[in-house]
Amino acid sequence: MASAERIIKDLLKEANVKVGGKRPQDLVVHDKRFYRRALRDQVLGVGESYMDGWWDAKHLDVLMSRIIAADLGSKVKASPKILLAGASAKLLNKQNLKRAAKNAQHHYGMGNDLYEVMLDKRMIYSCGYWKGTRSLDKAQEQKLDLICRKLELDKGMKVLDIGCGWGGFLEYAAKKYGIRGVGVTPVGEQVEVAKKRVKNLNVKIIQDDYRNVTGKYDRIVSIGSFEHIGHKNHKKFFEVCDRLLKPGGMMLHHFIGGNTDSFKPDPWINKYIFPNGSIPSLKQVSKAIEGKFLIEDLHNFGPDYDKTLMAWHKNFSKGYKKLNQNYDERFYRMWSFYLLMCAAGFRQRDLQLWQFVMRRIEPAETYRGVR
């Protein structure tokens, strides 16, 4: 039987990757235990061994792009541990009311200083819109304005932001379009910053789960939060939106999507980055809205997330030494692996970024999409 080292090296050859090579996609192995760990635990083992310093690559994003393009993950038999985790994610609701806040806190509550270093000036933690610009700040501003124009915002409209983050969208929409806003997030660290950001605006920030929101709204927006809803709650999410949206209102959902139905998260991402998240397919979303809403506009600008993630990684790498001592070397390698692996996923079109504009199934004027 071939050794783990030989199997992994042969697989890497299929992706035109060489161990010990000098090209951008090549890697160097510092600890030969990497091979067995990678073969046994697949992406979980690859990611954890990178965190532990067992291997390196000159350009990790290029390496991961090659691996994704060659679909190497499907060519290795999953371990019982990974199969069990996948079955659990499919069968159980791991984003129920009790678990959802804890899941969100794991990622978004790890420290505002990290996000201040990594993100743009408004702290927008979702894909930018890079049309005609090379600036992260400008790309995020263009994305916010695109959303406002797609929703046809007007002065005095009441807007709900589900998963409002650090308040950047509501601040922008209130200042430029004169809306009244309500933002909801379960993360206290985000609430603290968001309240300061919108202090002198007609905007209210609430720390709670989206399922507990009350009131009626002219517009609903969700920017990068749908991935955390969990596949068991897709239908419930849109039932909540139906309850909160006024007749004639509109919604915009901006989220990461996959090319096929998925009920289980990436094992490494699930353990270290986004616990119990899920990446829905178009079919899964369409099924969840069936009978309640119609899609007026569908916009995919997934390649822009590659640019966004690379800009975040550049900022993170540059500002890392400014962060407190809680972010050690292992964290640096973990966070780099997260950002660059995700960039590779969008680069290879394995991941998509969708914006849906939706309305109820009721008489309405023709919707004219904007870009």
Catalytically annotated residues: 342
Report which of 242, 352, 343 is spatially closest to residue 299, judged by C-alpha positions: 352
3-state SS, 256-278, equals EEECCCCCCCCHHHHHHCCCCCC
Q: Which residues sit opposite 161 in a β-bridge?
A: 183, 221
Amino acid at 155: K
Give me 40's structure tokens: 């046994």
Asked if residue 113 lies in contact with residue 280, where contact means CB atoms within 8 angstroms, the answer is: no
Taking the C-alpha atoms of residue 326 and residue 139, their distance in angstroms, rounded to an integer, is 30
The helix/strand count (H/E) of the chain reads as: 14, 9
Taking the C-alpha atoms of residue 78 and residue 362, their distance in angstroms, rounded to an integer, is 47
Beta strands in 186-323 (DSSP E): 203-207, 217-223, 245-258, 293-300
